[in-house]
C-alpha cells in the first residue's frame, strides 16, 4: 500500500466539488470516484463527513478538533491532579497517617524506621532526634520562669 495518500480537508472538499460537477452532467458514481482516484466507499465517507462544507469551514473544523483534543487532555490532567489532592487531603485528616512506622524495616541498629508524609513524598524520620526543634527564645522552661516572676512581683 505504498501508493496510499492522505488528503487534506481542503483537497477532499475540492474533489467533492469536482464530483458534484460530474454528477450534474449525468456521470455515475464509479466514474465520479475514478476521476479523483478514490474508491466509491471513500467518496461516500467523504460526502458524509464534509458534505456541505467549504474549504474555510474544513480548516476551522480541523482547528476546532485539535483544540478540543487539547482541552480534553488538560481536563484529564486537572481531574488527576484534583483526585491526587483529595487523596492527600483525606490522608492528612487522619492522625495515624502522618507518621507511619514500618515494623518490617529495621535499621542497622535494630530501631524501627518511621516515615512522615510530606506532600506526595515520604521522608524517613530519625527516632533518636526530637520531633521538633525548640525556638531559642520560646522554651517551656523560660515561660515557667516568667510566670513565677510575675507571681512573685504581684505578691510584693
| Domains of the chain, residue spans | 7-59, 67-125
Q: What is the mean pLDDT of residues 93-111?
A: 50
pLDDT single digits (tens) 57-82: 878 888 899 999 999 999 999 999 99
Among 9-23, 35-49, 101-115, 123-137, where is mean pLDDT lowest? Answer: 101-115
Can you give the pLDDT at residue 154? 62
User: 22-36, 46-60, 71-85: which has the highest mean pLDDT?
Assistant: 71-85
Q: How many CA atoms lie within 13 A of 134 on its CB side?
A: 9
Indicate if the pLDDT at residue 5 is higher than 90.
no
Q: What is the mean pLDDT of residues 87-102?
A: 61
Residue spans of beta strands (DSSP E) within the chain: 99-106, 112-118, 121-125
What's the N-to-C CA distance of the chain in angstroms? 106
Can you give the pLDDT at residue 132? 59
Can you give the pLDDT at residue 98? 47
Can you give the pLDDT at residue 71? 96
Can you give the pLDDT at residue 2? 55
Q: Return d(Cα 52, Cα 61) in angstroms, integer.
A: 12
Indicate if the pLDDT at residue 100 is higher than 70.
no
Residue spans of beta strands (DSSP E) within 82-131: 99-106, 112-118, 121-125
Q: How many CA atoms lie within 13 A of 108 on its CB side?
A: 0
* 124 vs 43, more confident: 43
Amino acid at each position: 500500500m505504498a501508493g496510499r495518500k492522505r488528503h487534506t480537508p481542503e483537497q477532499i472538499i475540492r474533489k467533492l466539488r469536482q464530483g458534484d460537477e460530474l454528477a450534474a452532467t449525468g456521470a455515475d458514481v464509479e466514474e465520479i470516484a475514478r476521476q479523483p482516484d478514490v474508491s466509491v466507499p471513500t467518496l461516500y465517507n467523504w460526502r458524509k463527513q464534509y458534505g456541505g462544507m467549504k474549504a474555510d469551514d474544513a480548516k476551522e473544523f480541523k482547528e476546532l478538533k485539535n483544540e478540543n483534543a487539547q482541552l480534553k487532555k488538560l481536563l484529564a490532567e486537572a481531574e488527576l491532579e484534583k483526585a491526587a489532592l483529595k487523596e492527600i487531603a483525606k490522608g492528612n485528616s487522619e492522625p495515624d497517617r502522618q507518621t507511619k512506622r514500618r515494623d518490617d524495616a529495621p535499621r542497622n541498629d535494630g530501631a524501627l524506621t518511621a516515615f512522615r508524609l510530606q506532600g506526595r513524598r515520604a521522608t524517613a524520620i530519625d527516632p533518636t532526634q526530637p520531633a521538633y526543634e525548640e525556638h531559642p527564645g520560646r522554651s517551656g522552661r523560660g515561660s515557667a520562669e516568667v510566670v513565677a516572676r510575675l507571681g512573685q512581683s504581684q505578691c510584693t
